[in-house]
Amino acid sequence: MKKVGNHNSTSRKLFYSLALVLTFSLTSFAQVVAPAAATEAPVATQGGDPVKGKELFNSNCAACHKLDAKSTGPALRGVAGRHEMAWIYKWVHNSSELIKSGDAAAVKLFADNNKAVMTAFPQLSTGDIDNIIAYTSEVKAEAPAPLPGAAVAGSADQSGVSNNIILGALALVMLMLVVMLFLVNNVLTKVAKSNGIEVAPKAATTPIWKAFVKNQFLVLVTVIFLLLASAYFVYGFLMQVGVDQNYEPIQPIHYSHRIHAGDNEINCKYCHSAARVSKNSGIPSLNVCMNCHKNISEVAESTATPEYSKAFYDEQIQKLYTAVGWDKATQSYTGKTQPVKWVRIHNLPDFVYFNHSQHVTVAGIECQTCHGPVETYEIQKQFAPLTMGWCINCHRKTDVKMEGNDYYTKIHEELSKKYGVDKLTAAQMGGLECGKCHY
C-alpha cells in the first residue's frame, strides 16, 4: 500500500528551520560576547582612574617606561604588586633621595637599570600617582582569535565564484565550439562527396609579399617610415641613459618615510641635517635613529598596512639594533656593530655641481620640490628625472626669494632695473650660465 503523507511535511520543515536559526543565533551571540568577556577581567584600580592615568603616563612616564617591556626603566605593568604604595610615592617624588637613604629596594632597582637616574616628579600628587598605578594595573587585553572560516571568506570573491572557475568554463566552451566546427566541416565534406558535388578549387593568387615588392612606391614609403621610427626609438633610448626616475631599490633596512615624515611629522632636516650647511645632504647616522628608537622597540598596531604587518616593522627595528649593537633587554650597547650597506638612489654625474645648502638655506626651497612627496612614500624613490632640462626649467620659473635674504640684495636691485621686473628668476640671476653647474 502507498504510505499516506509526506516525510518532508510543513511542520517538520518549520521545526528544522527554527532549530537552524536558533543554532546560528546562539553561535553569533557566543562569538560577540566571548571577546568582551575576555577583556572584562577584574582591574586593580588602586582607587585611581585608569583613563586619567593613561594621560599622565603618556606625558610623564612613556619616554623611559613601557607597560610590558623593559626600556630605559623597567616595565610598569603590575608594579603595584611589586612595591608598597607608600614606597612608590617616595620613589616617584624623588628617587635619588630614596637611593641615598640606603633603601634596599631603591638601591637594587637603581642597580638593575644600569644606574639610570629617574627624573623627580614632585609636582605629581598622590592622586595622580594612584591614577597612573590604576592604568598600569589593568590586565593586558589579548588579541581576539580569528573567527572560523574568516580566512576562506576573505580570499573568496564577493559573488562566491572564483574568477579561475569562470575563465576555465569559458575556455571549455571555446574548445567545444572549435571541435563542433571541425566536426561540421567533416560532415559537410562527406555529404558533398556522397551526393557527387564537386567543390570548386581555390583560385591561385599572388602572395602578398610579391605584390608588395613589385610596388616600388610602397617599398620607398616603408623604408622611410622604418628609418624615422628607428631614429626616434634610438634617440629616446639614448636620452634615457643615466636617467633613473622612479628608481626604487630595496634597502637592507626598510625605512618608511610615510611613518617618520608623514605620520610622525619629523622634519626632513632633522635626519638630513647636512643639507642645510653642506653640498651633500648626507646619509643619516644610525645614532640619529637611536635618539628615538632606544625607547621605541616596536610600532603601534595602527601602523601596520595590508602590505606590511606590525611584525615586519618590528623586525626592521631589530635590524637597526643589530647594526648599532644595542641590547634592548639590558638597555645597553654591546660594542658589536655591523655596517649597513645602503643603496644610493639619487646620483648626479661627476661633472655636475649641485649644492644642497645653496638651495635649502639660501633659496629656501622645500625638499619636496626635488624629492617629491616623501611623506607619502613607503619606499623612497627618485621623484624627478634630474636631467639638465629639468633643472633649467626650474631656474626659469622659480623666483628668487628676497625676504630676509640680504645676500642677493644689491645684485637683485641692479638686475631688476635692467629687466624691468619686480621679481627675478634664478635664470635672470645667472642660473643658466654653464659655469654655475659645470666645472
* Tens digit of each residue's pLDDT (9 = 90 or more) over 351-368: 999 999 999 988 889 999
Which residue reads 603618556 in cell numbers?
Answer: 58
Is the model's pLDDT at 23 over the cut of 70? no
pTM here? 0.61
What mean pLDDT comes out for the span 424-433? 90
Residue 267 grid cell: 622634519
**What is the model's pLDDT at position 160?**
60
Q: How many helices (H) and strands (E) does the chain have?
A: 19, 2
Query: Which helix (H) or strand (E) is 310 found in, with range?
Result: helix 310-324
- The type of residue at 430 is G
pLDDT band for position 147 (50/70/90)?
low
Among the listed residues 273, 271, 310, 315, the one whose alpha carbon sits nearest the alpha carbon of residue 292: 271
**What is the model's pLDDT at position 376?**
96
Q: How far apart (Å, rounded) are the C-alpha atoms in residues 371 and 283?
A: 15
Which residue reads 637592507 in cell numbers?
Answer: 252
| Proportion of the chain above pLDDT 70, given as a percent | 85
User: 339 phi and psi, to 5 degrees?
Assistant: -70, 145
- Beta-carbon contacts of residue 183 (< 8 Å; ≥ 6 apart): none
What mean pLDDT comes out for the span 412-417? 86
Which residue reads 622597540 in cell numbers?
Answer: 297
Q: How far apart (Å, rounded) are the C-alpha atoms in residues 254 and 317?
A: 9
**What is the model's pLDDT at position 374?**
96
Query: Which helix (H) or strand (E) is 285 found in, with range?
Result: none
- Beta-carbon contacts of residue 317 (< 8 Å; ≥ 6 apart): 293, 296, 297, 298, 299
Among the listed residues 119, 145, 69, the one whose alpha carbon sits nearest the alpha carbon of residue 328: 69
Residue 405 to residues 248, 279, 364, 402, 408: CA-CA distances in angstroms?
Answer: 36, 19, 10, 5, 7
Is the model's pLDDT at 44 over the cut of 90? no
pLDDT digits (tens, 9 = 90+) for 69-128: 888 888 899 988 899 999 999 989 998 988 999 999 889 888 888 888 898 899 999 989
Q: What share of the chain is helix, strand, coil (3-state, %, to 5)?
A: 55, 0, 45
